[in-house]
Structure 1
Amino acid sequence: MISPLPDTLIRPLVQAALAEDLGRAGDITSEACIPADARFSAVFAARKPGVVAGLDCARLAILELDSTAQFTALVADGDALAPGTVLATVQANARALLSAERVALNLLGRLSGVASLTRLYADAVAGTKARIVDTRKTTPLLRALEKYAVRCGGGVNHRYGLDDAILIKDNHVAACGSVGEAIRRARAFAGHLTKVEVEVDGLHQLGEALTERPDVIMLDNFSLEDLRVAVARVAGAVVLEASGGVNLETVRAIAETGVDVISVGALTHSAAVLDIGLDEA
């Protein structure tokens, strides 16, 4: 079971999204059409197959506008959905529920889309040792939510930001002058708990990187043959991460080369929103 994110992390994001939607005058449509004390019962239901993530976002969006609302989840984040699956039931003040509807569905659909795409990648490499990981190519300010959705889909998180691991990319190497020099500087700077990863763009840089023994070597846009050569040459001395040119058609072959990790930016930058609706109960 996926450990849920704390409400204290989710709530400010939900509040900001509601403030954006409600604008300067609030939901004037609901105010015009619906009596102030009217109640409404509804269900969140999947219209397409996928994997659910973000139920707490929907719950908090509704509770923010009606603290007395009753939100009952019938599935858990990470569960597979068939079309028609009811995710949750809700009873709330009608104005509040309809005002929160779009924010709730936007976040729930977005995160479920990320989880659903991640599950496809995770299933594609099943039986190999490779793990699917995300990147920092996330929606600004929604990184914690989207990386949580990756976990719901069976993926693993890469670093969260610039401050929790050292990742030496090609431009860092260019600025330092060489792969080896960049790793040496990183090792001198890093604390004992900080991991160091370096990106190499060909086998010609692999030996130099391996000599300096970083924790992880990223093999960027390597061919399948070069990935196999790298795996044999490294022989488990460091973690090998494959990156670049990864899609659902190529990921299985990449995994079968023996790499440890496959990073996929598409998990968060290209996931389609899962179609989920709010329907009257």
Structure 2
Amino acid sequence: MKHGEFECDWIARFDNYKAIVRVNDTCVQLCLWDTAGQEDYDRLRPLSYPQTDVFLVCFSLESQASFQNAEHKWFPEIKHHCADVPTILVGTKLDIRENTTRSNAEGKQEDKRTSAVLYNQGLAMANKMECVKYVECSAKTQKGVKYVFDQAIKAVLNSRRAGRAKRATILDIFLICFSLDDSYSFQNVEDKWIPEVRHYCPFVPFILIGTKLDLRYENKDAENEASSKGNSFVSYKDGRSLSNKVNAAGYIECSALTQKGVKSAFDEAVRTVLTTTKTKKGKTTFLCTL
């Protein structure tokens, strides 16, 4: 299926498609990479795997051989190259299985045995391979196709949330930075970044850092330009006031250009970790997130 049209004479190839879809009021750009499964492409195919957010492992519901191939070839290959990426098992050609089942029920076929893969078989395989979901669809009738991609998007969003929660257990301190020449950046600290940090890591200390200190004192032209646009430089008093308001462990101003205050920022981060957490004996490394 391409551009919503079913291709009767489909040829296996490498191709990619993009689409804007909405799931639970979230607008997502979906980029689909369609890879060729022939052995001739075994070395080329993994080149498309980096930065993949979710895999759709597809097999034909009318073929037990295709079904077994998912377990013996595709899952091992994916786990080898992208062990931590979520996978969804997808049974395709649902219309053929449904037509076969209907014909058997009406007695139109003498041999009522069929090689079609049943739903319970697919579900068992998905559980065995630790897939996040098992779905079935038909590109010809469009039945289940939208559901497949909705589940793929949800798998990615859930995986990212889980990743954030996992990182929260190993972080020692946050450095929440804003630009001293941008009052909107300063406001974003209170409106966005601090609520996010508190949501995922409520017990991890953070330091508030004002960057681009050189611009506030040395570039009057930049200050005048910012003022003309309704923006303004953030004063030390304002930065310190916000730091106290949000219970930050400290407030530092620095300039990456002149290096002024940079060492102080990291020294303060280390001191904060040492004084607010009980570290294990011999521990000398800390994880700091900017």
Bigger radius of gyration among the two: 2
Question: Would you call these one fold, judging by a TM-score over 0.5?
Answer: no
* TM-score normalised over the length of structure 1: 0.30
- Which structure has the higher relative contact order (CA within 8 Å, separation 6+)? 1
TM-score by length of structure 2 reads: 0.29
